Structure 1
């Protein structure tokens, strides 16, 4: 990565040096003006003093007018060249981005049989295949709940990465739901999930606020829940309702922040003939993570239309 940044700096330096060199090149029109002045001087010696002075003044006036007319487009052209150099440099800088992924096992990539790091790894490999200057750092940890992620944001390595991040991706909350489900699986009712949902919103808001304290310029993406129970427990309608209510909470909270976007995933895993879950019937398999990566990339494109992210497709 350092090498890429060094090469980029050299290229920008060459461009800026070329712009400056252009500014210092001799003006050919000015050379022509000096030549005309020399001819006028020779003519002055061959005529009378009074007529030479009169002719010289007239000649200089013409030359001044011609020089003014010729200098105008040259000046504008130089400005255009300098502007092009600056714009090229800014375009290089825009392509250099850092993405930090935090959260639970879905961020870590548990269930990905290819062992490439789930949706985060797929995104990283895609950027590398396209030779984009986009670094991806993964701080996903299996089993993390919102309260645990909030504490991890205090750790120096995680905090330092977020301070430098252009984009923060988050998957969190599935283990909050599972914690309640384990205690109420034989008698699933909405009440305990509704109570925990209120606490989830409070902790998720604290997570957003902490990230913004560390880096108010970053863009945050909250990745929503899918329903892993739909295939085997589709008759338990309460499970689907719980997922919907918690997703709605994420949508509503994201709307309270200018720099937070919500990315839905439930539809990717619903009513499909594709096998998108791993052997544990909870986490996505490689195909499921690829679906997630494609969805995340679609949302990144919308927020990064001026960068090369907007032209990227998930690698096969």
Structure 2
């Protein structure tokens, strides 16, 4: 009997040890944003500052209300019952360097970012376009290698932007939106552009992941193919071409109202997961 009890006790001990190992190696599923880097917004009055380029300004928004910015603010209000006061510091055409310089020079931006509970940042599209403009004479022969050094330099500027924001505001939740490929529908054979956009987004996501309480929001897969193509009549000929129905028909580059709603939904989905 004693031998049996010893064997049984040993068996139970082994089971307990195995259970403890599994508990440590495979912790309970939970919020993927949980941990020391995460803070949750609980107040009923939220201050929101939007910083960035034309996507923040809202170019292509037929309502001229500011693109995804007011839509995201309204989603927070509808989803949480909190009131949101927003400030839009977007400026069309700005590269990461120009956004950074504006942030330093304009006191209203510095003040708005310092007091914000939530910050969104749209950046990168104009940096990528600058690479294309700087190499306009050899566009047809450019390869992905031509974007490697500009990408590395861009990531340093993104980190500098985020670090500067953090100097005055260590607690705000920052959501950095990725870039998208507006040329895919008309030029699907330009695989270099799609690969470059994917690469820049992956690098930005990696940069953002190293920052406290900062989150990357991918939008390329949501926008670059549209929700199905639509036929449009060309201005120069009577023939028809196709267009991305999530982009503004005035330039086929910036999102239209539906595109901005999709962006707002993506940012709010991330916000909701962080603050649940």
TM-score bracket for this pair, using the shorter chain length: 0.7 to 0.9
Once residues 172 and 114 of structure 2 are traced to their aligned partners in structure 1, the CA distance between those partners, rounded to angstroms, is: 8
Which structure has the highest helix share of the two?
1
Q: Which deviates the most, 130-139 or 148-157?
A: 130-139
Check if 1:212 corresponds to 2:166: yes
* Partner of residue 134, structure 2: 183
Local SS of the residue matching 1:281: coil
Shift, 1:126, TM fit: 4.5
Are the structure 2 counterparts of residues 125 and 301 from structure 1 closer, same or farther at C-alpha, using a change threshold of 3 Å? closer
1 CA distance for matches of 2:95 and 2:50?
A: 15
Question: 2:117 aligned with 1:166, yes or no?
Answer: yes
Whether 1:121 and 2:109 are equivalent positions in the alignment is: no
The within-5 A match list for 1:93-172 is 94-126=43-75, 132-154=82-104, 155-172=106-123
Question: Does the 8 A contact of 1:116 with 1:122 survive in 2?
Answer: no
Structure with the greater alpha carbon radius of gyration: 1
- 1:133-170 residue CA offsets vs partner (Å, 9 max, x unmatched): 21111100000101111111212111111111111100
Aligned to 2:183: 229
Q: Compare relative contact order (CA 8 Å, sep 6+) and give the higher one, 1 or 2.
A: 2
**CA RMSD for the aligned pairs?**
1.8
In structure 1, stretches of 5+ residues that fail to align are: 1-91, 306-316
How many residues of Structure 1 are paired with residues of Structure 2 in the alignment? Answer: 214
Q: Is 2:170 the partner of 1:199? A: no
Structure 1 residues 98-141: Cα deviation after superposition (integer angstroms, max 9, x where no partner): 11100000000001122221000222345567763211111000
Q: CA deviation at 1:192?
A: 2.7
Secondary structure of 1:192 counterpart: helix
8 Å contact from structure 1 (residues 153, 210) kept in 2: no
* Kept in 2: contact 1:181–1:188 (CA 8 A): no
Give the equivalent residue in structure 2 for 1:292. Answer: 263
User: Are 1:302 and 2:235 an aligned pair?
Assistant: no
